[in-house]
Amino acid sequence: MKKFISGLILAAGTSSRMGQPKQLLPFQGTILLDWVMAQAESASALDEVIVVLGRAADEIRPRLHNTRAKVIINPVFTEGCSGSYKAGMATIDPRAEAVMVLLGDQPGVDSTVIDQVAEDWRTQGGRIALTSYRGRRGHPMVFARALFDQLRQLSGDKAAWKILDAHPDWVRDVAVDHAFPEDVNTWQDYETRLRETTPLV
C-alpha cells in the first residue's frame, strides 16, 4: 500500500518586512498563497493538504480558491512558526506516515518538485528527506511519523531546522535540478518573483 503523505503549508506569518499580508499579493492570476496551494494540490504525491493561517486570516481565507485543502488557524502566530507546526500536526490525518512541510511564501516550489521529493521518501524512507537545489538545502522537507511528536513540541522560530541541526545523521538530501525557491519577504523579493514567472513578450 502506498504510504500516506500529508502536506503542511505554513502561511501564518506577520509579513512584517512587507508591511501588508504577502499571502494576498497578486500572483499568476490569483494571490500568492493560493498559487502555492495550487502547486501542492496538483501534486499527485500528496494525499492531503493542510494550510495554516495566522495574521489576516479573515481576509485571506475568502480569497483561496483551492478549496480541497484543510485551512486552519494558528492563534499564536506571533510566537514563531512552531505554533503553526502544533496547529497543523493537531489536524493531520491519522493515516499519515510522513508530513511534507512547505512555505506559503515560496511560489518557486512547483508540483514537480513536490512529487519528486515525496516519491523519493516513499522509495528510500528515512526520518527526514530534505530538498537540495543544486547543492543548496531548502523546503520542502519530509518528516517521517517517528518525528511527529518532536514537531508538535517545537518552540520559537526556525523550528524544524533545530531538529535537522541536532540530528544531521537523520537527514537525506534529495537532489533537485531546479533553481532555489527564494522566499517573498520584501517588495524587492516580490518584484523579482514576478519577473521570474512573467513570460517575455
DSSP assignment string, 41-84: HH-TT-SEEEEEEBTBHHHHGGG---TTSEEEE-TTGGG-THHH
Q: Calculate mean pLDDT across residues 37-64.
A: 91
Beta-sheet pairing, 48-53 with 5-11: parallel
What are the grid coordinates assigned to 74, written together? Answer: 494558528
Give 123-156 pLDDT, tens digit per residue.
Answer: 999 999 999 999 999 999 999 999 999 998 887 7
Exposure string (b/e) for 93-107, b if CB count within 10 Å is 16 or more? eeebbbbbbbbbbbb
Give 8-18 pLDDT, tens digit per residue.
Answer: 999 987 767 77
CATH superfamily, region 5-197: Spore Coat Polysaccharide Biosynthesis Protein SpsA; Chain A (3.90.550.10)
Q: Calculate mean pLDDT across residues 180-200.
A: 81
Q: Which of these, 19, 24, 102, 103, lies nearest to 64 by C-alpha position?
A: 24
Q: What is the pLDDT of residue 46?
A: 96
Would you say 159 and 76 are in contact if contact means Cβ atoms under 8 Å apart? no
Enumerate residues 6+ apart whose C-beta is below 8 A from 1.
Answer: none
Asked if the model's pLDDT at residue 82 lies above 90, the reply is no
The residue with cell 512584517 is 16
Q: What is the pLDDT of residue 199?
A: 45
Amino acid, single-letter form, for residue 155: S
The CA distance from 41 to 24, in Å, is 18
Residue 198 binned pLDDT confidence (cut-offs 50, 70, 90)? low
Would you say 157 and 150 are in contact if contact means Cβ atoms under 8 Å apart? no
Cis omega before residue 140 (within 30°)? yes
Q: Calculate mean pLDDT across residues 170-189.
A: 92
Q: Which of these, 129, 73, 139, lies nearest to 107 by C-alpha position?
A: 139
Extents of the domains making up the chain: 5-197
Q: What is the pLDDT of residue 7?
A: 96
Residue 161 binned pLDDT confidence (cut-offs 50, 70, 90)? confident
Between 34 and 1, residue with greater pLDDT: 34
Between 189 and 5, residue with greater pLDDT: 5
pTM of structure: 0.92
Asked if the model's pLDDT at residue 159 lies above 70, the reply is yes
